[in-house]
Amino acid sequence: MKPIQHPSEIAREALKLLSARKLSPTPANYQECYYEIAEKPHMQGFPEDQLRQIALALKAHNVAQQEQLDQLDLAIRKHSWKGVGLALQEYVQQGIGSESSEGGGVAPPAAADASAYARDCFSKVAGLIDSMRPALADEDEGFAEQMGGVVHTLRDPMADIQVVRDEFDLFCRRLAFAAEEQGQIKHALLKLLHVIIENISKLIMEDSWLEGQVAALIEAVSPPLSLRRLDDVERRIRDVMYKQATAKERAIEAQAEIREMLGTFIERLAAMNDSSTRFHGRLEDGARKLEQVKTLEDMAPLLSEVIQATRTMAEDTERSREELAALREKVQATESEIAKLHLELNNASAMARHDPLTNTLNRKGLDEVMVREIAAMQRKGTSLSLALLDIDNFKQLNDRLGHAAGDEALVHLVGVVRACIRLSDSLARYGGEEFVVLMPDTPLDEAMTAMSRLQRELTRNFFLANNEKVLITFSAGVAQLATGESQEDAYQRADAAMYLAKRAGKNRVLAG
């Protein structure tokens, strides 16, 4: 059978396959079905951990190489293949036959040591390129062949340095084009997935309790992507789906009970009406008979009959009143339960706007607060500042103490931050070990002072991990939103300032 070529047809068939296999509508499952329908190899994620291991293994022998290692770290953080390739290329070039720059670098090693060091670097770079194959070269035979040639040259101990340099230079240029193409493909795929999710949300607008799940899906497919983030969102969505399904099922049962009780109420009213009609009929019959009575003896049985009818009517009325009172109490209890269930549904939907580990806002929740605060800033003519915090040396903390301790460190940081910020401020987990503090009615200088005060508070509150005192510090970039500036531009300014704070020695606060 001829494979499907048009992206819209592939997307439609992928959704059908997702439904047929009864898979959860997660981005990972959708991507797997998409590539299966397209008969293409499954794309792998950005190998951030492997790249960081390689970056840590590389050593700077002069100032220029240290600058390139800094650029490599930035490129890895931004998941930029082009940046990685250029940084590695410049790193190798600065290490071949270079003198220490600006008089402040480290003197190059002896020739034999330099050659061994270069070969070791080449081997590590060859391993790095190998790890790129699944992500970049599977669909381009020419690029795959060029990649194999570069790996072979890098691992050849007899290869001429100039040959290595020339081949690596050509490869980096081709790598930049391939990475850019893959980025465009991912962007187009995510854009398509956004359109699908948004259309699904429009089809189910009458089910407001699904709003949180749709919001979480949109957040999950928003860059930057990571497997840990996708797994976390999938777990949260499953938990929300379970709670919402349970609550909605009980709400449907409660509504059915109310309908049943309403039917019973109508039946009771009809029975009371029938009883009243019979009573009036017996009274009218007694009145007719009373007109024909001639003696007191004939009147006694007639009075007894009227009294009995009255007693029966009174008993029926009392019984119906008690039944209706009990029915009313049951209706009130059911209505109360339905209101409670609706509250549970709203709370379950709201879970998709908070980070489950730290109970802070996630990006979706932060975006909603940001829109509200920007509108208030424009309406009141006040200032609005935001700070982007990134924990220093968090990866080393995770590697040394374990991920569980890393999670506890994040919770500890959040506790200290909340104790220091105002009730009007908002705290959100921006991703990984990054947090955003949104400060309304706060100019830039006051926002920077607040972050410096927070840093001092952290030095007084050590984090305890297995009875070990651990000092947690952070680097922060602070930006005040300008009139008409978008929140994305403000984030970028704060992020750039935060990166400069890292390079300046960490545990610093800089303005963006």
Q: What's the pLDDT tens digit per position in 21-71?
A: 877 777 667 777 777 777 765 555 567 777 877 888 788 777 778 888 888
When pLDDT is averaged across residues 448-476 and rounded to a whole number, the result is 90
Confidence band of 392 (pLDDT split at 50, 70, 90): very high
Mean pLDDT (the chain, rounded): 75
Q: Which residues of 330-351 are buried (b: 16+ CB within 10 A; e: fewer)?
A: eeeebeeebeebeebbeebbeb
Given the structure tokens 């296999």, which residue do they identify? 21
pLDDT at residue 342 in the model? 64
pLDDT at residue 107 in the model? 44
Name the token pair of 289: 């008979």
What angle in degrees, to the nearest 10, is found between the helix axes of 48-57 and 63-77?
170
Instruction: Name which of 213, 186, 184, 208 is nearest 197 in CA terms.
Output: 213
DSSP state of 481: P
Instruction: Name which of 478, 355, 353 is nearest 413 in CA terms.
Output: 355
Q: Give the lowest-confidence range in 103-107, 309-313, 325-329, 338-342.
A: 103-107
Strands 474-480 and 509-511: parallel
Residue 295 buriedness (CB in 10 A; 0-12 / 13-18 / 19+): exposed
Q: What is the DSSP string of 46-74?
A: P-HHHHHHHHHH---SSHHHHHHHHHHHH
Distance between CA atoms of residues 210 and 215, nearest Å: 9
Residue 496 has pLDDT above 70, yes or no: yes
Its sign, for the CA torsion 369, 370, 373, 378, is negative
Domain ranges, ordered by start, for the chain:
48-186, 245-352, 363-511
Distance between CA atoms of residues 79 and 90, nearest Å: 18
Higher pLDDT, 186 or 416: 416
User: What's the whole-model pTM score?
Assistant: 0.39
Instruction: Specify whether the CB–CB gap between 159 and 144 falls below 8 A.
Output: no
Radius of gyration of the chain (CA): 36
CA distances, 206 to each of 115, 116, 201, 211, 353 (Å): 69, 68, 10, 10, 20
pLDDT at residue 481 in the model? 93
Distance between CA atoms of residues 23 and 82, nearest Å: 35
When pLDDT is averaged across residues 324-332 and rounded to a whole number, the result is 71
Higher pLDDT, 238 or 142: 142
3-state secondary structure of 145: helix
Distance between CA atoms of residues 86 and 70, nearest Å: 12
Higher pLDDT, 375 or 298: 375
- CATH number, span 363-511: 3.30.70.270
Higher pLDDT, 447 or 340: 447
When pLDDT is averaged across residues 190-199 and rounded to a whole number, the result is 62
pLDDT at residue 202 in the model? 54
Name the token pair of 155: 């691992």
Confidence band of 205 (pLDDT split at 50, 70, 90): very low
3-state secondary structure of 335: helix
Residue 422 buriedness (CB in 10 A; 0-12 / 13-18 / 19+): exposed
| Alpha-helical regions (H) of 361-439 | 363-380, 394-401, 403-420
Q: Which residues of 259-279 are buried (b: 16+ CB within 10 A; e: fewer)?
A: eeeeeeeeebeeebeebeeeb
Higher pLDDT, 274 or 392: 392
3-state secondary structure of 475: strand
Residue 105 has pLDDT above 60, yes or no: no
Distance between CA atoms of residues 34 and 3, nearest Å: 12
CA distances, 337 to each of 191, 209, 258, 349, 351 (Å): 41, 17, 11, 18, 21
Torsion angle, alpha carbons of 125, 131, 135, 136, to 10 = 40
Type of residue at 93: Q
pLDDT at residue 103 in the model? 44
Given the structure tokens 């391993």, which residue do they identify? 127
Phi, psi (rounded to 5 degrees) for 423: -65, -30
Percent over 90 (pLDDT), the chain = 18
Cβ neighbours of 90 (radius 10 Å): 17
pLDDT at residue 474 in the model? 94
pLDDT at residue 494 in the model? 94
